[in-house]
Every structure is written in structure tokens, then in C-alpha cells.
Chains A and B, each alone.
Chain A
């Protein structure tokens, strides 16, 4: 590296405790001007805690923060904004019903007049009546819109200030978040897992924007757990594990395997090992299925496909293209408006979930906390949710505690669920262990079809590895698997065949390996198959 750039932000010895957890333990971190510094780590490694401290959402118990070499106290986001720190959160902090301009000006309504938005350090009841009356000033929407247009031109972030945010694609919403920080004259930008919600193309766009920004002197902290991205964009890499910084490196000095090992603390098998599929008879057959979403608009629009025993059909697509509704219709959670679904020869269209489950359907739902578990029930009770009404768990309408207990202990053991006891509420477990409870319940039954929706969303590398192995094991035992995932890497790792879904339709079904990542990405973004070089 040439001359070292100036350090714009430095955290020294940051320690943060939550009840029972040491979230950050004497963490040191620094950011140089105009660099992209990747902070890599698994869920729960303490990345977000550190960033929330830098952004003023939490206060550190110990340690100091320096900005431009000066020690600072960041007590709330207003302080952070005042010091030029902006943050793009993983879950966007945008009000969907507001316009872009309203979202950007929120909290900084008078910014264009030159003030940094920081009001004098007085408690609100001492600020006086007339100061309060400033709240009743008319919003200067026109001036704000004009300023937003100027900034978006300056940084190449196309966006219409008068559009309603909820109508915008996710990638554009993210630009709005970045603009929000730039509007507040941020020169330090924290991006918290920004690519989790983007298509590969949108992610590429984001990386281009990030490089543009750093060329203009903005310094970026980029939080992620996706190894490919790290190597693509980072200038420097800091790896965290269990609340501590475990290493620094650069893309030149490391590779995916090494980063994964640093992150997890042991060697990780990134490639799922699997033999060729050995497909049998058709288990699930979907014909011209049409399903409406909650607003009664068509979400699945004439979809046909089949899944054979012993194969994994991966449904790839950007979230919100009908995959959720498709999975819900197949599992009986949502009424279809037309078409046919046959499971192992039975017509299951618009049947309630119980008969479908009894034919041999297992479902790992997209939202595990809402649809997969009853969070306030114990692990043992969650493990019998599919079968509680049948012997041995229920005799003449009375639950059999001994059978339930034996079942729970057996499944906890064999699926490696880390829980202090079978009688802990499921809500107390970590995300990975919650997912293992669902997997244990669903896969331990006698099933013919597994519908897995986003089975590894938000899980750590170790749990992902485990769940991937289980899915392949099920396939090898002759079970049909319908895998729905927004993670293209997951689809590529597990599927035998890939169906690409776009705007409620399946635009292509191909064998895994037939198309490259890039080609699939284009299909997911709506390019016609012919343009991608696919003749059907």
C-alpha cells in the first residue's frame, strides 16, 4: 500500500455487555479516509453492536471513540449525524407511505439552511415555547426536493424525490437510505448487510456506487457475512467472532476458505458435497397455479412444474416475485384461485394444511418465528405440533407427557439442538437452534415432500452448513425437495434443477450447471430467456 491515509474514525477498547452476554470485548477498529473497510463475522459476533455504538443507538460500557483524532461521545443518532456518521440499516429505516423527500428530510427538516440539525443541549421542557413553535413551520418540500436532486446528480444516485418509497424497488430504497446519509453531510457511511435484499445485479450497482463514494472521500464500513462480496469490494478486512476482533487481513492476502475459517473458528466446508441425483416418480405436480396475494392482486400467475422423488428443485428469484404465495398455496396456508396441485397422486388444491401434512408434506416456512414455531411454547411442545393429536402423543384427547418428553429428548439429541432443556420456550433459543427445532419436527416424520422456504435466512455459517447437509440427506433418501430461496448461492449449491421465478411466473426451468450465475441473475431481474442465451 502507498502512503497511509488519515484515520477518520477509531474505536479503542470498546466493551459492551448485555444481560448474560459480552457483546463486544475490548474491540479496536479504525477506518481510513476513502477506504472500504469490511467488518466480517457471523450473526451474533458483535458487528451490529459495534456499529450501533458508533451510530449512538447503544452506549459502550468501556472504551473510547475518536473521530478525526478527537475523542467524542456519541449518545444518540443525532450526535452521530453531527459528527458526520451515517448508517444504512439492514432493515431499511424508511417510512413506506412517505415520499423519498419526506423520508430524507425527516429529522433534518431545516438542514438546507445550513444548521447541522443539532439543537442546543437543553432538556426539552427548558427549550421554551417559542423554540417549540419552530415545529409548526411549514415544510419546505420544494427546496428539499431540489437539494436531493442536486445530491443525486452529484453522486450518480438516480431517484425521484416525489416517489412514494413503498412503491420503489428494494435497490432504489437502499439508494434513498444512502442519500439520507449524504443529505446529512455524512462522510463516514456504515452499511449493515446491504446486499442481503438485493439481486446480484443490484449488488453490483451498489458496489459501483460505493466505489464512487470512496473516490469522493467518503469512508465506508461495510458489514457482511458473504465472503465473495468481501473479496470483491474490500480495501481492508476485520473479522469478528464472539464479540472479539480475531484478525485483520486484505483481499490480496486471503481467500474465501481462510476468511470462513477465521469467522467460524474452525475449518468450514463451503461446498455442499452431493452425489448426482437419482430422480424417481413425480411426487409434486403443479399445474397452471394461480394465487393472489394479501391485497388480492395476482402473485402467482399460471405456474406449472413438477418435483420428482430424490431431486431438489430450486426456485430462484428476487423476493416478492410470488415465491412466498407459491409456497403457501402448496402447503395449504393460502387459497389458490385456480390451477391444480397434486401430491403423491392426491389432489391437494385448497385443502387445509392437516390433510396435506398427513399425506407426507414437510414445510420449513419462510418466517420461522411466525409460521414455524409457537415461540411461547416449550421446545418439546413445538416438536409435536404436527402430530400432537395422534397417538402416541395423545390418547383419547389427553396429551401423554412421557411420549412427548421421549420424543423431545430423542430429536434434540439427533438434530443437535442446543437448548438447556426441552422445556425452555422456543423463543429463547438462537435463530439457528430455532430452525433446527423446525427441521427436527418436519424431517423426523414420514414424509414424501419437503418444502423449504428460505431455510437458512439469517443463520450463521455453522447452522447453514448443517441444514444444507440435512436437505441433501433427505434428497438422497428419495424425498422430493422444493427449495425456495432468494440466495442464489444456496440455490446453486443444493438444486438439481432450477426454476427461475419473475413476476409470478416461472420464466425458465434448467438443470443446475446449464446456466452461469450471471445468466441466472439476469433471468431473476426479468431479462427474457432468449436474451440470456437460453433457447427453450
Chain B
């Protein structure tokens, strides 16, 4: 990733933040708005980040994954199902139920990843079609089971949506204390406004924090380990990898399953961290936006994350503008229409994919089955 791309990303994020700060500045201090925007951005970027990482692992080994959307949707459903099963049917506490839910979601993603791997690596099905199969299957299964389990009288849940075990709790990282401590070395009061505002940014739930950790773990794995070197070789020039004794099929299988597991964790965000419920089609195109983030991020973990934050910021703008609805000046009244603001992530996707900041380069063998 070149610096121009990061600069572009930074500019868009600043622009999106500025809109909200501009609207709300009469009511709330800009610092507080900025920090609250940052907190929301990091939160809502979570499934995009994880989806993009899923794409990075698959495509670095040259398997195109357009099934991220489906993997996340299926994981969201089965993770949630596992959590309420544990909670209502088996009677476990909410916390172990939720953790089980996350594990099941991750495994669901892995199974769908395995399906994509079997289709595209073993049976050499066109990878776009393979990914579409995953998406359609996920929509079908989740829609059908959702209906059968929760809206049929004679199902285990007796025809109604049971009480959910809630969502994963916020982890309060001790950032305000640390910042306050450092700050008090220089000022008398320890600048509580800044420390508290900053602290809010780090008040995140576990999957959001894990996603950011995984960005850097993925970067390390792909660029600094033996596995990463082999994976990139398989994605760039599989035959070269084969001639030095690397099992191309095996490397691709493992990477696609890793991709599935990551998408599964992204799916868990929807039903176990963001909201305590499931709705059909609730991923709402996030898997495809994640794919755009991966492309804009030049198939690298850190680049993809930066791009995911752009989309996150767009969504954060939509969310935060709602608080300041009445303050929007009449000239900007179109911003009051939340569905117009809600278009921003999708418009940004199109804008970014037109390649206005230069084209990115996919792995050379991306999308091609390997024939000996």
C-alpha cells in the first residue's frame, strides 16, 4: 500500500467526521463528537474488517471468495441459535451461552469455507459460482430454519422467538486512567475531558477488539512467516511453489478454511455483539463491502483494515447524525433523511472501486484453479 492511498483514506474519514462535528458543534464539544465517532467507527467496522481479512487469506492463496456475505450470515444465525439453545433449552448462564455461540459461529464460517474450498479447489468450479453457491445456501438455510424454529408452533421454541442471552459485554480498557495519569504530569487536573473522551474510544466489545488484534496478527503471518511466504507464492505462481515441493492444494485449503473462520467471527458480531437478535438477510451487503475494502486495501491486512474504517466512518456518520437531527441547518436538510445518509457506504464502495486512487494489483493467480 502506498502512502497516497492511506492519505486518501485519512481524508475521507476526516471529511465524514467533519460533517458530524459541523452539525453538532453547537450542542457538544467537537472533541467529544470526534471521539464518539471514532468509537462508533471502530465498532461498526468490525464485520467489515473481519470479512476483509477473510478475503485476504483466501485470495492471497488465489481463491476468490465472494461468499463472505453468506459465511457471515450463516455464522450469525447458527451462533445465535447455539447461544439461545444453551441459554433457554439447556439453561446455562448468558456468558457461557454467548461464548459457545461465538465458537459455533466461527466453526460455521469454517464449514462454509470448507465448502467453498471443496467446490473451487477440488472440483475446480468457477470460483465466482462457488462463492454464489455459498451465498445462496446461507440465505436459504438461515431463512428456512429461522422460520421453522421460531415461527412454527411445534418447534423446540414453541413458535416464538425466545428471550436472548443478551450481547457480549463491553470491555473497559483502563485507558482513561493511564491517559489521565500521563496528563497529570503536565497539567494540574489531569485533563479529565480528554481522558474520558479518549477512554470512550477504547470501550469496545470483545469481537471488535479481537478484530483489530487479528489485523496485525494476519499481517505478521502473511508477510513474516513461512506459512505466509508459501501462501503468497501459491497465490502468485502456484507452479513455482509446486516445483519446490509445496503442496498447492493443501495450502489453498487451509487458507480458505482460515478465511471461513474469520468470516464466521465477523458473523458472530451481528447477533452476539451488536444486537441480541437475528433477522433474515441481516448482513445486508456487509460481506460485499468487506470485499471492496480488501480490494481497496490492495489485498493486505492493514490496508484492508484502513479501507474498512472508511466504510465504518460512513456508517458512524449515519448513526451519529441521528443524535443531532434537529441541529441540521435547513440548507443541509437532505441530511435529515437517514436513508440518504445511509447510502454513503454503498456510494463510497462504488467510488472507491472505480480506481480513482490508482488500481490495486491482485495476486497473479487469483481465481485460477491449479492444474498440474
Contacts and interface: CB of A to CB of B under 8 A. Distances in A.
A106 B225 contact: no
A54 to B, nearest CB: 13
Contact of B240 (A78, A95, A137): A95
B236 A98 contact: yes
B236 A93 contact: no
Given A76-B245, A138-B224, A94 B240 contact: yes
Given A94-B237, A107-B230, A137-B226, 8 more contacts: A89-B243, A93-B237, A97-B236, A98-B233, A106-B233, A106-B246, A107-B246, A134-B226
25 contacts: A55-B243, A57-B372, A77-B242, A77-B244, A81-B245, A87-B243, A89-B243, A94-B237, A95-B236, A98-B232, A98-B236, A105-B229, A106-B244, A106-B246, A107-B241, A107-B245, A109-B229, A110-B226, A124-B250, A135-B225, A136-B221, A136-B225, A137-B225, A139-B229, A180-B244
Interface in A282-330: none
A103 B224 CA distance: 14
A340 B246 CA distance: 51
Nearest to A110: B226
A110 B364 CA distance: 26
- The bracket for how many chain B residues form the interface is 20 to 34
B239 interface: yes
Contacts of A124: 247, 250
A108 interface: yes
A117 interface: yes
Contacts of B226: 109-110, 134-137, 139
Nearest to A79: B245
A42 to B, nearest CB: 24
B144 interface: no
A77 B243 contact: yes
Nearest to A107: B244
B221 A106 contact: no
Interface of B: 221, 224-227, 229-230, 232-233, 236-237, 239-247, 250, 364, 372
- The bracket for how many chain A residues form the interface is 20 to 34
A75 B72 CA distance: 40
Contacts of B233: 95, 98, 106
Nearest to A136: B225
B219 to A, nearest CB: 13
A137 B225 CA distance: 5
A102 interface: yes
Contacts of B364: 96-97
A138 B236 CA distance: 21
Interface of A: 55, 57, 76-78, 81, 87, 89, 92-98, 102-103, 105-110, 117, 124, 134-139, 180
- Max chain A CB contacts within 10 Å: which of B225, B226, B233, B239? B226
Nearest to B221: A136
A124 B247 CA distance: 10
B230 A106 contact: yes
A93 B243 contact: yes
Nearest to B250: A124
A109 B228 CA distance: 12
B225 A139 contact: yes
A86 B247 CA distance: 18
Nearest to A135: B227
Nearest to B235: A95
Contacts of A103: 240
Contacts of B225: 135-139
Contacts of B237: 93-96
Contacts of A57: 242-243, 372
A106 B248 CA distance: 13
B243 A102 contact: no
B356 to A, nearest CB: 16
Contact of A106 (B240, B250, B372): B240
A117 B239 contact: no
Contacts of B229: 102, 105-106, 109, 139
Contact of B244 (A97, A108, A138): A108
Contacts of A92: 240
A435 B244 CA distance: 34
A81 B226 CA distance: 19
A94 B236 CA distance: 9
Contact of A117 (B236, B245, B250): B245
B230 A93 contact: no
Q: Which 5 A-B pairs have the closest CB atoms?
A: A107-B244, A78-B245, A135-B227, A93-B240, A109-B226
B309 to A, nearest CB: 26
- Max chain A CB contacts within 10 Å: which of B221, B229, B242, B372? B229
A95 B246 CA distance: 14
Contacts of A94: 237, 240
A78 B230 CA distance: 15
A365 to B, nearest CB: 23
